[in-house]
Amino acid sequence: MNRRVAMVRPRPRRARPDVAARAPVARARSGRRVATALLAGLASTLTLSACGGASGTTITLYNGQHVQTTDALVAAFERAHPGVTVAVRSDSENTLDAQIVQEGTRSPADVFFAENSPALEYLQGRGLLAALPTDVLAATPSRYNSSAGHWVGVTARVSVIVYDPAVVARRELPTGILQLAEPRYRGLIGLAPSETDFQPIVTAVLHSVGRARTLTWLEGLKRNAAGHLYASNEALTLAVNRGAVGLGVIDQYYWYRLRASLGASSMHSALASFAPRDPGYVVDVSGAAVLASSHHRALAVALVRFLVSRAGQEIITHSDSFEYPLASGVVTAEPETPFSALRPDPITVAQLGTGSTAVALLREAQLL
């Protein structure tokens, strides 16, 4: 099934069926038992209809996540829900959250799966996300969820230094993100400033040292990375690996994906961590939410519940996404630093906010 469909104009929605029937407790005479059975069957039919189990329902997932992660999860969800189709519309999360705001209550989206938490916080602030059930939120540690209960963390990545040992020796690497603006790294650094993964780092620096020092740091990065600005973290990772630039800051999974693609013998780069609790050492959370305007609310919640279930999280840990599963106690099976061993900046997803201040600073520094 081709799950990537072109964006279309929203079509009029049918009202959701009212699912309120409950079977009475059966007692006494056979006539009442028959009536009870009929009512129970009707309730079951209505519930299946509302969840799309037998009616061929299609729900729409706006996907800002990497397709490697989403494809495997959607395929498993569809197998577990015969008759249900998930239409996946993939784009950058910034494009999708802007589209959701523009569409408002007319949005065809039922679920939004974002690569980073600021996109979800932005939509939450606009009142466009529905509250999630407590059992869904409880699957993931609360520090990686919306504090208001409107989205849940699904996967995580951590920011690291990728470097070419033939260009920059490990002993010459910075231990803190602020050091990257120092003159000694001029001409050695590559940046992908338009990547949404970079915004949480800027926010963490801002939270740590304030606006003035953050802007000075960004200006230093711009000088040091002159001629080495990249459109994506994939491009930056590849550039470091082929020796076009000495080092960069990425989320760890880009390097592991490149190694899976090229083979270990073709990897000429390596990873290093920042010092514990440094503002460059940030955990980025991918999360999912149900749109308040969804006309398939029960099934939309079921999809989000699946993403954080043990079955969904096991798919993540055994897939080629190389992300950390966040929910249901599942741990990564890949040869990465265990999530429990990470020592990142303690900034929370609420403190990372919507990323708007980080974007404004990047524009002021003329990196966007």
pLDDT tens by residue, 40-58: 333 333 333 444 443 589 9
| Domain covering 58-155+285-338: architecture | 3-Layer(aba) Sandwich (3.40)
Side-chain-side CA neighbours of 132 within 13 Å: the count stands at 33
The CA-based dihedral angle spanning residues 131, 133, 138, 140, taken in that order and rounded to the nearest 10 degrees: -50
Whole-angstrom distance, CA of residue 114 vs CA of residue 285: 9
Span 240-286, pLDDT tens digits: 999 999 999 999 999 999 999 999 999 999 999 999 999 999 999 99
Cα-based distances in Å from 155 to 64, 323, 327, 329, 330 = 13, 6, 8, 12, 11
Q: Model confidence over 299-358: pLDDT tens digits?
A: 999 999 999 999 999 999 988 889 999 999 998 877 889 999 999 999 999 999 999 999
Asked if the domains 58-155+285-338 and 157-282+354-364 are classified in one and the same CATH topology, the answer is yes
Kindly write down the DSSP assignment for every residue of 206-274, as one continuous string. HHHH-HHHHHHHHHHHHHHTTT-B-SSHHHHHHHHHTTSSSEEEEETHHHHHHHHHH-GGG---EEEPP
**Single pTM value for the model:** 0.82
Q: What CATH number should be reported for the domain whose range is 157-282+354-364?
A: 3.40.190.10
CA 254 from centroid of its chain's CA atoms: 14
Domain segments of the chain as ranges: 58-155+285-338, 157-282+354-364
Question: Looking at residue 284, what is its pLDDT?
Answer: 96
Q: What are phi and psi of 26, to 5 degrees?
A: -75, 135
Query: DSSP alpha helices (H): ranges in the chain?
Result: 30-51, 67-80, 93-103, 117-125, 134-138, 198-209, 211-224, 233-241, 253-262, 297-307, 310-317, 349-352, 356-364
CA–CA gap between residue 202 and residue 225 (Å, rounded): 16
